[in-house]
Amino acid sequence: LSASQLNAAGHLMIGGCDSLDLAQQYGTPLVVYDVSQIRHQIRAFKRVFEANQVNYEVSYASKAFAAIAMYQVADQEGAHVDVVSGGEMYTALKAGFPLSHASFHGNNKSYDELVMAVKNNIGVIVVDNFYEIKLLNQVLTELDARVKVMLRITPGISAHTNKYIQTGQVDSKFGFDLESGQADRALEAVLASPRMTMIGLHAHIGSQIFELTGFEGVANKLVEVANHWQQRYDYQAQVINVGGGFGIRYTKDDQPLRPEEFVDAIIKAIKAAVASTALEMPAIWIEPGRSIVGPAGYNLYTVGSRKDLPGYRPFVTIDGGMGDNIRPALYQAEYETVLARDPQAPLAEHVRLAGKYCESGDILSQDQALPKTKPGDVLAMLDTGAYGYAMASNYNRNPRPAVVFAENGHSQLVIERESYEDLVHLDRPYTEAK
Ligand code: LLP
């Protein structure tokens, strides 16, 4: 947090809005995005490419936070998006986002999803497996259509991150393996298909990665494959897509490079690797999710009950929890939380920030230093913008929070708070079968 994020009253400001006013106006738990931070990050990525004079696309991985408003912002900033489901595609379409600027990912795309993608002029389908090649050929024949494809490669690189968010190791459910020749056979199948236009290759090694080596490794590996394909099949890749995964700072113990520094290193690695081949320099695509929306997001909560036990760290309970942010329970993820009315108030105690869900694991923070708090105080958890609301659930039949976009002192509701009526909307009474 910088001093510029405090107003005259000393309150935390988000997108030029007083966080206490936002909590008051929209209620808590509340997810707030500082939209200019989202724009800033997209532009920062673009600048790296422009400075290096390479053709590129910045493709926002919309799984990190998908909403009509978010697809609109991505489009306004000239970003592409990556979508992984019919639901994300549908949301993008509702936002008026041109699907021709979208890449469709997934390791089990359904027939219906492929039809939807092709009918709506999807930019590229990132083909993951042999079953998909067959299914896609069938869909293209039925629709008498063509589509651009990329092949997803498993680069055999293990990133040092939580095992649930690693994806690049050989033993992964995603993509075509290199060693066993799967990737070559996939290329042969795609080149043989009259309806698929092969534009390049893709890999994604995982998420919340702090080390350059993993990205340099994937860059080198993809160029190596592209080179092999040129020599063996006379196929020149137009695009090398290195995926996302650029780590962000969640706590003061995190010391990552800035996301754009990772991208700079990737560009240099690809340029250097290409220089030692006969390849023409391909376009470089990246798919950042977390680094675009993570730091821009804040979760506002209201403090309620408290439990003190001699010899134990106190529990301070807020009005949200694992239903709006599963990451601490699922990945032992850590966050920083501040008192919204005075983020720089002297710290008085270390507490456990507990959620309201009926589960002992529903602790958003195991050790958070805070000023003394009382019921009704608003807390702001920082950097919650990625995979927070996106993975929200209705566990315990708690309604999901509202989402607000704040920018230049204006705030706007972009996802309404769920109502109790919403919760039962799909329920149907059961009539006993006699
Ligand atoms: N591209 C592909 C193919 C991906 O699978 C992902 C993330 C991304 C790009 C974006 O990665 P990012 O830049 O956001 O790290 N739920 C987990 C993260 C799962 C990431 C899944 N794939 C979490 O909360 O940490």
**Domains parsed from the chain with CATH numbers:** 3-33+296-424 (2.40.37.10), 54-292 (3.20.20.10)
ipTM for the predicted complex comes to 0.99
Question: Looking at 91-105, 145-159, 289-303, which range is the least confident one?
Answer: 145-159
Q: What is the pLDDT of residue 161?
A: 61
Please tell me the distance between residue 227's alpha carbon and the centre of ligand 1 in angstroms.
Answer: 27
Atom of ligand 1 nearest to the CA of 246: 13
Average pLDDT over residues 373-378: 98
Statement: residue 322 has pLDDT above 80 = yes
Of 167, 99, 164, 127, residue with least CA distance to 327: 164
pLDDT, mean over the chain: 96
Q: What is the pLDDT of residue 314?
A: 98
Q: What is the pLDDT of residue 2?
A: 79
Q: What is the DSSP letter of 253?
A: T
Whether the bond between 399 and the residue before it is cis, its omega within 30 degrees of 0, is no
Q: H-helix or E-strand containing 346? A: none
Q: Is 168 annotated to bind ligand?
A: no
Cβ(80) to ligand 1 under 6 A? Answer: no
Q: What is the pLDDT of residue 156?
A: 87
Residue linked to tokens 């690049």: 168
Residue with the nearest Cα to atom 7 of ligand 1?
207
Please tell me the distance between residue 280's alpha carbon and the centre of ligand 1 in angstroms.
Answer: 29
Tell me which of 156 and 51 has the higher pLDDT: 51
Tens digits of residue pLDDT in 165-200: 556 677 889 999 999 999 999 999 999 999 999 999
Tell me which of 2 and 290 has the higher pLDDT: 290
* Cβ partners under 8 Å of residue 9, min gap 6: 18, 341
Average pLDDT over residues 381-408: 98
Tell me which of 169 and 46 has the higher pLDDT: 46
Of 141, 204, 125, 137, residue with least CA distance to 169: 204
Q: What is the pLDDT of residue 158?
A: 72
Distance of CA 117 to the CA centre of its chain: 20
Mutate to test the pocket of ligand 1, among 258, 287, 327, 330 (most ligand atoms within 8 A of CB): 287
* Calpha distance 420→289 (Å, rounded): 31
Residue 207: count other Cβ atoms within 10 Å of its Cβ.
26
pLDDT bracket for residue 162 (50, 70, 90): low
Statement: residue 164 has pLDDT above 80 = no
Tell me which of 265 and 159 has the higher pLDDT: 265
Mutate to test the pocket of ligand 1, among 84, 207, 240, 249 (most ligand atoms within 8 A of CB): 207
Average pLDDT over residues 44-72: 98
Please tell me the distance between residue 174's alpha carbon and the centre of ligand 1 in angstroms.
Answer: 13
Statement: residue 319 has pLDDT above 70 = yes
Tens digits of residue pLDDT in 246-263: 999 999 999 889 999 999
Told to judge if 358 belongs to the known catalytic residues of this protein, a careful annotator would answer yes
Q: What is the pLDDT of residue 169?
A: 72
Atom of ligand 1 nearest to the CA of 245: 15
Q: Is 329 in contact with 322 (CB distance < 8 Å)?
A: yes
Query: 0.90 exceeded by the pTM?
Result: yes
Cβ(206) to ligand 1 under 6 A? Answer: no
